């Protein structure tokens, strides 16, 4: 396992479409949505389930300690719409994950993006059904994004 590169990056500087995930289960206020952390490590588990899929990663810090990170993304139904699959990740995969970390400092966070060693990426973007439906919106219909 390579040494991790754990850096905090202001979300506005991250070169990705930062997600406004469609989380139906809980709000985002336990997480720092203004900054993202990039962690690099080895997948120990990819838990494909409701209410949220979980990606667990062992991350080696610069002093050689292993920190077990648990990162969440959306429900499988949303993940499939966003192009993810149940077998996208497996234990042993080396990945770089961009997360919105928990405000309390625990090694948990919400996934924004996963990069594989071979350069492939998975973004935890909202559904890609392509249905904007703006022309149909009715009065009183809210498009409120979750924080």
Does residue 107 belong to the site contacting another protein (CB under 8 A)? yes
Query: Mind giving me the DSSP string for 1-44?
Result: -PBP--EEEEGGGSSS--------SS-STTB-SSEEEEEEEEEE
Distance of closest approach, residue 85 Cβ to another protein, in angstroms: 12
CB of 12 to another protein, least distance (A): 22
Asked if residue 82 lies in contact with residue 113, where contact means CB atoms within 8 angstroms, the answer is no
Would strands 7-10 and 66-72 be described as parallel, antiparallel, or unpaired? unpaired
109-138: contacts with another protein (CB under 8 A): 126-127, 129, 131-134, 136-138
- The residues pairing with 71 across neighbouring beta strands, listed in sequence order, are 55, 109
| Residues 100 and 32: beta-carbon distance below 8 Å | yes
List the one residue from 5, 24, 66, 117 that touches another protein (CB under 8 A). 24
Write down the least CB distance from residue 131 to another protein, Å.
5
Binding of another protein by 25 (CB under 8 A): yes
Give the interface with another protein as residue ranges (CB under 8 A): 22-27, 29-31, 47, 49-52, 54, 56, 70, 72, 75-78, 80-81, 102, 104, 106-108, 126-127, 129, 131-134, 136-146
């Amino acid at each position: 396992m390579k040494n991790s590169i754990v850096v905090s990056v202001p979300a506005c500087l991250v070169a990705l479409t930062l997600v406004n995930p469609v989380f139906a289960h809980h709000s985002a206020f336990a997480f720092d949505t203004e900054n993202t952390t990039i962690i690099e490590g080895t997948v120990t588990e990819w838990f494909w389930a409701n209410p949220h899929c979980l990606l667990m990663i062992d991350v080696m810090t610069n002093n050689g300690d292993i920190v077990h990170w648990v990162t969440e993304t959306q429900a499988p139904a949303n993940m499939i719409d966003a192009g993810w699959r149940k077998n996208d990740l497996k234990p042993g995969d080396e990945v770089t994950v961009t997360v919105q970390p928990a405000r309390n400092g625990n090694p948990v966070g919400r996934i924004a993006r996963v990069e594989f060693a071979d350069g492939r990426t998975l973004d935890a973007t909202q559904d890609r059904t392509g249905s904007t439906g703006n022309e149909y919106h009715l009065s009183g219909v809210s498009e409120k994004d979750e924080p």
